[in-house]
């Protein structure tokens, strides 16, 4: 019994350190979460492929318009080659990107723009007319 | 013997006080937490990226008719006049360097080879980027008829899609 | 000892336990409190921060989506968020222009406004729970441009019987949609035809089927279907988004041609719905519908003048161009050894120059300019025998003494007129002791510049496809500067170069080559001619092909000194009229010219043919088309008009201004015009061919009948082949008028802006330009057409735009209308058709929608 009394102080230390450690552990979880705040929104800013999609839109709206005066067959041939090349170039970045024109009248054409990455999926159908832009 | 007995109690009280003190410190520490976004370190990179995209956009030249000739300073003019050395013309370099003033850069040109289904790239301005470098890119389409016979892209028979990549970093 | 122990009150162990118990209670209570104070307040701050983060992530995704704004598509982005924040699960929702995050029990809520972007541009909706497997932000925008279906049938009326189908075009090309579309036409009997926007015209053929028509079609005048059925077609246009529009049209199917002509009117707006600020087109479409004005077949007698003057030339086409000559230039230094010597320079070709100069003076092809060192200049042009080489094809230049100042560089510039490459030689000779010694020789292969003009003579119009001749002439001002070849024959006719006339030529392509003669010659112009009779053959055969349909009769009278009735039918009962137009065409091909102009007998014969056997022609509409190129030169002496002895022909026999013959012919013409066959009067149409003085316009005008339903005479003046064709074509149309004096009026309300108007006419309709006038505060768009012929299409397009959302009605009831004279025309047959009320919807705030899920 006497030896037990002799050891009492250690038991108390252990007891209280347990209490404190539990509280500390819990708080550190909260703190870690707190430190993470701001990560999600800034990650969005960094990874959203705004410019990649805009590049595709420029091809669909302006570059393809260069061929509007060609014959139907030439236009279709050229735009399908453009589509193939864009698919390859975007595949290199690990995403799917495509700009494919699919009808043409004398002054207008329709074009579908697609961009699919792990996080973003974009699809747009534009109807573009010479001198009038796209809608 | 008595002194020994009291000693344990003192330890106990000491432990209680210590834990209370710790908790008070922790409490005040957490109450005053400031959220520090990790973006602060990257904001300059984002700015540089924006400069890169803007530069490429400015250099991109939209023709309004097929009779127009691409100016030397434009992306199209630069690509059209490339020869087998893949060295951009001086007007273009001058215009580019004025716009990305103070930043160091590397310029790459990529295009798809439809016969091998591979993407081929060439460095037009070859410098070694630092790890903090950011990249901007732009897609440019040029009809096959625009290329002179000296161009490595001469005679493909279909419009060629180029990706111009501009890699920027603070020196 | 016991007391000493009692001092403690409790034992050591008990004291310890009591103390621990008190402390434990204290610690327990404290920790309870600490949990509340520490944990709750911490969760509050964590939630505040983390909710802000998630909300700003969502809002920056939305702003990014706006930055790439798909205009007619979607953008899906993944949203990352912790499953729980401080052990709290939560939902993220979009409402009222804000991102709203709410903890599960509603204890915490965070709202982040999206500002103007959220309210003005986006419809926000949806919510997601933090525990959901994935979170997605879906931005979609659909263009409010709706598809528009427009169905047109060409022609709008067809003839069909049990064995021969009637065919018409189903044209959906005026339909429109955002991008590609599919179309589907359902016929009255349930047959479906489909296609897409790349393929918008298809042909449908129907046989006369009374059972089918009685079941599925209707009779416009009510009752069972007799000889004519009105059948409906429905077009549905579907765009890639699945939106669709429909339109109807009615085809008139008849087994007899006795259907009164009419006007088919359609008004539509394209597209019917769109977004503010985008132009739309308002169309008013008129289509002449029917088969022929009068309710029967035709009997046509074509009367063709074959008098001698029909051999004259008539204008067939012209040519003009520029060609710079190829100049062979040689410079040679005449050095001092030439001083005081005689010099001879020859330009020649060892080539035979065949076939281009065969039969002509080949030396004439050469011209040389000589520039001497002292600045003197001579042009060597061959004429007669001067400057010409006898021994070879070529010319020479001669100078009796080379003076001191002539020492230096001499330049020789040579041009050869020939449309093929030839070798050329330039030789310089010096006179040495009485004989010419060659000093220097130059040679080259000369590739001349020349111009080639193709002339097409059509086949199928003349006997064995032989044309009497083809003539060409370069205008006088250019004649001297050029040589011309028709095919390979040099143009030289009537003692002039630059004029040519072939003998009989085959139909097909002929080439006129024009080569410049002098350095400096450039511009030229000229004309082609063919024989008048040949051109009359082309025009009249085209007329017969176009006008004569199944069941129509056609005959031919040709006349010169006497008239000839051509036998075109093997039937003894009707030898001079036939339903087989090829028989008449063959007769026309064989016609030859020569003789006087006996109009009287020709007109009498034409009438006789029509009256020959009225058993056949009864009920048909009789027509005489009378073409002449000259004044009458034969007088009727009385007696049997069939007999050649009843006429006297000479250039003066008709007297001054043809008065004598006029007085004979006009009464005959009146008699003919008053003759009826089965109740139909004979109609005479006349054409004067040639220069206005060649024929008697008054005579021809008075001979002619009035055009049906008109106060205008059926008389035409044609100066050349083209005008003759036009005259015949116009006659072929006079029985094809669908409506007369058509006036189209439409009122565009003042809240719609007019951007422009356009009138598209296909066919021969004669319409004024579109006029705009104010009508109260509105604008009236109108135009008139004096005549609209069967199968003509007239389309008025008014481009309009409205900038405010809303529905706009594009007409005023009872003001927007089409008025016209219906068959058989005249004031008593005025009809007014009120235009359909059409509207265009300008869709309001068609905003993009953003949904989180």
B58 to chain A, any CB pair closer than 8 A? The answer is no
Q: Is the pLDDT of residue A104 over 80?
A: no
Least trusted range by pLDDT, from C41-50, C365-374, C735-744: C41-50
User: Residue C571: phi, psi to the nearest 5?
Assistant: -70, 130
Question: Could you tell me if B26 and B62 lie in one domain?
Answer: no
- A41 and C64: CB-CB below 8 Å? no
Task: Count CB pairs under 8 A between chains A and C.
Answer: 124
Q: Is the pLDDT of residue C371 over 90?
A: yes
Q: Rounded to a whole number, what is the largest CA-CA distance in chain A?
A: 107
pLDDT at C258: 64
Q: Is the pLDDT of residue C84 over 90?
A: no
Average pLDDT, chain C: 85
C42 to chain B, any CB pair closer than 8 A? The answer is yes
pLDDT at C257: 66
pLDDT for B100-130, tens place per residue?
Answer: 877 889 999 999 888 888 888 888 888 888 8
pLDDT for B158-170, tens place per residue?
Answer: 888 999 999 998 8
Mean pLDDT within B27-41: 55
Greatest mean pLDDT among C28-37, C409-418, C615-624 lies in C409-418
A5, A19, A88: residue with CB nearest B117? A88
- A67 and B159: CB-CB below 8 Å? yes
CA-CA distance, C591 to C313, in Å (whole number)? 16
Beta bridge partners of C716: C687
Residue ranges of the domains in chain A?
2-37, 49-134
Contacts of A64 in chain B (CB under 8 A): 141
B141 to chain C, any CB pair closer than 8 A? The answer is no
pLDDT at C67: 78
The total domain count for chain B is: 2
Torsion of CA C806, C811, C813, C817, to 10 degrees: -160
User: Residue C218: phi, psi to the nearest 5?
Assistant: -140, 170
Helix (H) or strand (E) holding A121: strand A120-129
Nearest CA in chain A to C28: A19
Q: Is the pLDDT of residue C629 over 80?
A: yes
Least trusted range by pLDDT, from C47-61, C346-360, C472-486, C694-708: C47-61
CA-CA distance, A54 to A56, in Å (whole number)? 5
Mean pLDDT within B8-23: 71
- B16 and C45: CB-CB below 8 Å? no
C56 to chain A, any CB pair closer than 8 A? The answer is yes
Q: Residue C56 — very low, low, confident or very high, per pLDDT cuts 50/70/90? A: confident
Contacts of C38 in chain B (CB under 8 A): 23, 26-27, 30
A85 to chain B, any CB pair closer than 8 A? The answer is yes
pLDDT at A44: 58
Question: Could you tell me if B12 and B62 lie in one domain?
Answer: no
Query: Judging by beta carbons within 10 Å of its beta carbon (0-12, 13-18, 19+), is residue A102 exposed, middle or buried?
Result: middle
B5, B16, B33: residue with CB nearest C45? B33
Question: By the 8 A CB rule, do C616 and C552 touch?
Answer: no
B-interface mutation test, from C11, C29, C34, most B Cβ less than 10 A away? C34
Choice between C76 and B45, residue whose per-residue pLDDT is larger: C76
pLDDT for C508-524, tens place per residue?
Answer: 999 999 999 888 767 89
% of chain C residues with pLDDT over 90:
29
pLDDT at C711: 75
pLDDT at A46: 61
Q: Residue C700 — very low, low, confident or very high, per pLDDT cuts 50/70/90? A: very high
User: Residues of C numbered 12-31 whose beta carbons fall under 8 angstroms of chain A's beta carbons: which are they?
Assistant: 12, 16, 27, 31
Task: Count CB pairs under 8 A between chains A and B.
Answer: 123
pLDDT at B29: 64
Choice between C150 and A17, residue whose per-residue pLDDT is larger: C150
Question: Could you tell me if B114 and B157 lie in one domain?
Answer: yes
pLDDT at C35: 64
Mean pLDDT within C174-183: 80
Q: Which runs of consecutive H residues, i.e. helices, occur in C401-517?
A: 476-479
Q: Is the pLDDT of residue C20 over 60?
A: yes
Least trusted range by pLDDT, from A59-63, A111-115, C10-14, C453-457: C10-14
Question: Could you tell me if B86 and B12 lie in one domain?
Answer: no
Q: In this structure, what DSSP letter does residue C705 have? A: P
Choice between C845 and C713, residue whose per-residue pLDDT is larger: C713
pLDDT for C275-308, tens place per residue?
Answer: 777 788 888 888 887 765 444 578 889 999 999 8
- B35 and C23: CB-CB below 8 Å? no
Question: Could you tell me if B131 and B144 lie in one domain?
Answer: yes
pLDDT for C770-787, tens place per residue?
Answer: 888 888 888 888 998 888
Give the C-alpha distances (Å, rounded to integers) separating C319 from B35, C453, C454, C487, C526: 87, 7, 9, 15, 5
Contacts of B74 in chain A (CB under 8 A): none
Token code pair at residue C106: 């509603």
CA-CA distance, C189 to C169, in Å (whole number)? 17
Mean pLDDT within C353-377: 90
pLDDT at C599: 93
Task: Chain A: give the shortest CA distance to residue B8, in Å.
Answer: 5
Mean pLDDT within C432-455: 91
Question: By the 8 A CB rule, do C658 and C631 touch?
Answer: yes
Nearest CA in chain B to C33: B23
Q: Residue B42 — very low, low, confident or very high, per pLDDT cuts 50/70/90? A: low
Task: Chain B: give the shortest CA distance to residue C54, in Å.
Answer: 13
Least trusted range by pLDDT, from B79-83, B153-157, C275-279: C275-279
Q: Residue C344 — very low, low, confident or very high, per pLDDT cuts 50/70/90? A: very high
Q: Is the pLDDT of residue C267 over 60?
A: yes
Give the C-alpha distances (Å, rounded to integers) separating C423 from C329, C447, C483: 14, 9, 19
Least trusted range by pLDDT, from C173-177, C294-298, C478-482: C294-298
C197 to chain A, any CB pair closer than 8 A? The answer is yes
Beta bridge partners of C556: C302
Beta bridge partners of C73: A124, C141
Contacts of C23 in chain B (CB under 8 A): 12, 16
Question: Could you tell me if B88 and B5 lie in one domain?
Answer: no
Cβ–Cβ contacts within 10 Å for residue B148, how many? Answer: 11
Which chains share 3+ C-beta pairs under 8 angstroms with C? A, B
Q: Is the pLDDT of residue C1 over 60?
A: no
Q: Is the pLDDT of residue C633 over 50?
A: yes
CA-CA distance, B18 to B12, in Å (whole number)? 10
Minimal CA–CA distance to C510: which of C571, C554, C465?
C465
Question: Could you tell me if B65 and B148 lie in one domain?
Answer: yes
CA-CA distance, C286 to A40, in Å (whole number)? 64
C64 to chain A, any CB pair closer than 8 A? The answer is yes
Q: Residue A50 — very low, low, confident or very high, per pLDDT cuts 50/70/90? A: confident
B5, B12, B35: residue with CB nearest C12? B5
User: Residues of C numbered 83-122 whose beta carbons fall under 8 angstroms of chain A's beta carbons: which are they?
Assistant: 85-86
CA-CA distance, A131 to C279, in Å (whole number)? 14
CA-CA distance, C47 to C109, in Å (whole number)? 9
Question: Could you tell me if B143 and B65 lie in one domain?
Answer: yes
Q: In this structure, what DSSP letter does residue B148 have? A: -
CA-CA distance, B8 to B61, in Å (whole number)? 86
Question: Could you tell me if B80 and B113 lie in one domain?
Answer: yes
pLDDT for C189-206, tens place per residue?
Answer: 888 999 888 788 899 998
CATH architecture of A49-134: 2-Layer Sandwich (3.30)
Q: Which residue has the tokens 């036998």?
A: C567
Mean pLDDT within C400-405: 90
Task: Chain C: give the shortest CA distance to residue A135, in Å.
Answer: 7
Q: Is the pLDDT of residue C566 over 50?
A: yes
CA-CA distance, A131 to C565, in Å (whole number)? 64
Question: Could you tell me if B91 and B159 lie in one domain?
Answer: yes
ipTM of the complex model: 0.73
Question: Could you tell me if B92 and B17 lie in one domain?
Answer: no
C24 to chain B, any CB pair closer than 8 A? The answer is no
Print the domain residue range for B5. Answer: 1-33
pLDDT at C522: 79
Which phi-psi region, left, alpha or beta, contains residue C422 (left: φ > 0; alpha: ψ -120 to 50)? beta
Least trusted range by pLDDT, from A73-82, C108-117, C606-615, C690-699: C108-117
Nearest CA in chain B to A5: B5
CA-CA distance, C714 to C694, in Å (whole number)? 19
Which chains share 3+ C-beta pairs under 8 angstroms with B? A, C
- C38 and B30: CB-CB below 8 Å? yes
pLDDT at C704: 93
Give the C-alpha distances (Å, rounded to integers) separating C839 from B128, C63, C200, C295, C772: 65, 37, 25, 39, 20
Contacts of A30 in chain C (CB under 8 A): 39, 42-43, 46, 86
Choice between C852 and C564, residue whose per-residue pLDDT is larger: C564
User: Residues of A numbered 49-108 whose beta carbons fall under 8 angstroms of chain C's beta carbons: which are they?
Assistant: 50, 53-54, 57, 102-103
Average pLDDT, chain B: 80
Question: Could you tell me if B47 and B130 lie in one domain?
Answer: yes
Task: Chain A: give the shortest CA distance to residue C2, in Å.
Answer: 20
Signed CA dihedral, B21, B22, B27, B33: sign only: positive
pLDDT at C584: 92
pLDDT at A9: 56
Question: By the 8 A CB rule, do C347 and C360 touch?
Answer: no
Question: By the 8 A CB rule, do C152 and C791 touch?
Answer: no
Nearest CA in chain B to C44: B31
Contacts of A39 in chain B (CB under 8 A): 37-38
CA-CA distance, C852 to B15, in Å (whole number)? 52
Query: Judging by beta carbons within 10 Å of its beta carbon (0-12, 13-18, 19+), is residue C48 exposed, middle or buried?
Result: middle
Domains and CATH numbers, chain C: 2-141 (no CATH), 147-259 (2.60.40.10), 260-290+736-853 (2.60.40.1530), 298-311+533-734 (3.40.50.410), 313-322+450-531 (2.60.120), 328-446 (2.60.120)
């Amino acid at each position: 019994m006497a030896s037990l009394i002799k050891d009492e102080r250690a038991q108390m230390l252990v007891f209280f350190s347990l209490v404190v450690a539990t509280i500390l552990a819990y708080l550190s979880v909260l703190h870690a979460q707190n430190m993470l705040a701001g990560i999600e929104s800034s990650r969005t800013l960094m990874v959203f492929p705004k410019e990649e999609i805009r590049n595709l839109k420029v091809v669909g709206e302006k570059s393809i318009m260069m061929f509007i005066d060609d014959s139907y067959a030439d236009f279709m041939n050229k735009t399908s080659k453009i589509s193939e090349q864009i698919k390859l170039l975007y595949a290199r970045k690990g995403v799917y990107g495509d700009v494919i024109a699919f009808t043409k009248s004398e002054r207008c054409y329709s074009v579908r723009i697609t961009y699919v990455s792990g996080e973003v999926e974009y699809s747009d159908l534009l109807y573009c007319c010479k001198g009038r832009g796209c809608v | 013997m008595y002194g020994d007995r009291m000693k344990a109690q003192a330890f106990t009280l000491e432990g209680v006080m210590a834990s209370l003190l710790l908790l008070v410190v922790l409490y005040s520490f957490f109450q005053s937490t400031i959220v520090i976004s990790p973006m602060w370190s990257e904001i300059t990179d984002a700015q540089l990226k924006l400069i890169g995209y803007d530069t490429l956009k400015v250099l991109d030249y939209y023709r309004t008719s097929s009779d127009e000739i691409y100016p030397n300073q434009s992306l199209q003019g630069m690509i059209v006049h490339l020869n087998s050395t893949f060295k951009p013309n001086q007007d273009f370099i001058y215009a580019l360097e004025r716009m990305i003033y103070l930043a160091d850069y590397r310029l790459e040109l990529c295009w798809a080879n439809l016969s091998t289904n591979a993407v081929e790239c060439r460095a037009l301005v070859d410098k070694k980027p630092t790890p903090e470098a950011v990249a901007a890119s732009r897609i440019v389409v040029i009809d096959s008829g625009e290329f002179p016979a000296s161009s490595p892209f001469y005679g493909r028979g279909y419009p060629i899609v180029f990706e111009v990549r501009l890699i920027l970093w603070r020196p | 000892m016991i007391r000493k122990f009692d001092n403690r009150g409790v034992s050591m162990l008990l004291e310890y336990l009591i103390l621990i118990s008190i402390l434990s209670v204290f610690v327990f209570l404290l920790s309870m409190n600490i949990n509340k104070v520490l944990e709750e307040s911490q969760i509050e701050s964590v939630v505040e921060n983390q909710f802000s983060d998630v909300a700003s992530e969502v809002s920056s995704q939305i702003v990014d989506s706006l930055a790439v704004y798909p205009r007619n598509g979607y953008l899906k982005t993944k949203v990352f968020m912790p499953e729980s924040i401080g052990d709290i699960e939560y939902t993220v929702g979009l409402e009222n222009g804000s991102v709203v995050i709410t903890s599960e029990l509603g204890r915490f809520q965070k709202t982040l406004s999206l500002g103007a972007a959220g309210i003005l541009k986006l419809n926000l909706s949806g919510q997601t729970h933090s525990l959901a497997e994935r979170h997605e932000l879906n931005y979609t925008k659909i263009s409010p441009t709706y598809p528009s279906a427009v169905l047109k049938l060409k022609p709008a009326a067809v003839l069909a019987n049990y064995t021969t189908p009637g065919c018409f075009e189903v044209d959906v090309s005026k339909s429109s949609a955002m991008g590609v579309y599919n179309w589907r036409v359902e016929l009255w009997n349930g047959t479906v035809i489909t296609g897409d926007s790349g393929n918008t015209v298809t042909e449908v053929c129907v046989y006369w089927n009374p059972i089918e028509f009685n079941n599925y079609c209707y009779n416009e005048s009510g009752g069972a279907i007799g000889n004519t059925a009105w059948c409906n077609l429905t077009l549905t246009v579907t765009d890639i988004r699945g939106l669709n529009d429909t339109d109807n049209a009615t085809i008139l199917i008849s087994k007899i041609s006795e259907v009164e002509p009419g006007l088919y009117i359609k008004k539509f707006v394209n597209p019917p719905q769109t977004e503010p600020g985008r132009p739309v087109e308002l169309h008013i479409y008129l289509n002449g519908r029917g088969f022929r004005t009068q309710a029967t077949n035709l009997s046509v007698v074509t009367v063709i003048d074959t008098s001698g003057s029909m051999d004259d030339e008539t204008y067939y086409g012209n040519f003009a161009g520029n060609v710079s000559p190829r100049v062979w230039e040689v410079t040679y230094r005449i050095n001092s050894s030439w001083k005081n010597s005689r010099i001879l320079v020859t330009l020649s070709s060892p080539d035979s120059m065949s076939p281009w100069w065969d039969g002509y003076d080949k030396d004439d092809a050469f011209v040389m300019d000589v520039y001497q060192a002292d600045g003197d200049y001579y042009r060597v042009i061959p004429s007669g025998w001067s400057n010409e080489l006898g021994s070879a094809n070529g010319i020479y230049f001669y100078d009796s003494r080379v003076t001191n100042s002539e020492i230096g560089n001499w330049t020789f510039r040579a041009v050869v007129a020939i449309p093929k490459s030839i070798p050329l030689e330039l030789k310089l000779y010096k006179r040495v002791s009485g004989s010419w010694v060659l000093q220097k020789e130059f040679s080259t292969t000369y590739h001349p510049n020349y111009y080639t003009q193709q002339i097409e003579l059509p086949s199928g119009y003349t006997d064995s496809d032989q044309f009497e001749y083809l003539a060409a002439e370069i205008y006088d001002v250019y004649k001297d500067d050029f040589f011309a070849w028709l095919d390979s024959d040099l143009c030289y006719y009537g003692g002039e170069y630059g004029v040519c006339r072939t003998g009989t030529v085959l139909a097909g392509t002929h080439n006129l080559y024009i080569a410049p003669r002098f350095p400096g010659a450039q511009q030229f112009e000229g004309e082609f001619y063919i024989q008048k009779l040949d051109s009359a053959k082309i025009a009249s055969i085209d007329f017969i092909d176009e006008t004569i349909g199944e069941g129509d009769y056609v005959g031919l009278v040709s006349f010169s000194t006497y008239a000839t009735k051509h036998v075109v039918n093997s039937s003894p009962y009707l030898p001079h009229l036939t339903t087989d137009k090829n028989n008449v065409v063959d007769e026309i091909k064989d016609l030859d010219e020569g003789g006087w102009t006996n109009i009287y007998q020709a007109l009498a014969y034409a009438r006789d043919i029509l009256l020959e056997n009225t058993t056949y022609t009864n009920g048909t509409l009789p027509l005489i088309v009378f073409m002449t190129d000259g004044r009458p030169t034969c007088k009727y002496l009385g007696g049997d008009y069939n007999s050649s002895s009843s006429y006297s022909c000479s250039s003066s026999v008709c007297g001054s201004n043809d008065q004598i013959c006029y007085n004979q012919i006009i009464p005959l013409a009146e008699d003919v015009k008053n003759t009826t066959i089965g109740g139909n009067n004979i109609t005479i149409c006349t054409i004067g061919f040639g220069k206005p003085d060649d024929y008697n316009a008054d005579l021809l005008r008075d001979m002619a009948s009035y055009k049906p339903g008109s106060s205008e005479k059926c008389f035409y003046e044609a100066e050349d082949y083209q005008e003759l064709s036009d005259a015949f074509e116009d006659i072929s149309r006079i029985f094809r008028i669908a409506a007369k004096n058509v006036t189209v009026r439409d009122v565009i309300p003042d809240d719609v802006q007019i951007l422009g108007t356009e009138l598209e006419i296909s066919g021969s309709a004669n319409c004024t330009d579109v006029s705009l006038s104010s009508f109260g505060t509105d604008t009236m768009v109108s135009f008139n057409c004096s005549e609209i012929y069967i199968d003509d299409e007239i389309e008025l397009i008014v481009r309009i735009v409205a900038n405010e959302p809303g529905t706009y009605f594009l007409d005023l009831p009872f003001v927007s209308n089409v008025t016209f004279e219906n068959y058989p025309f005249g004031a008593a047959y005025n009809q007014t058709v009120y235009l359909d009320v059409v509207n265009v919807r300008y869709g309001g705030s068609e905003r993009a929608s953003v949904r989180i899920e």
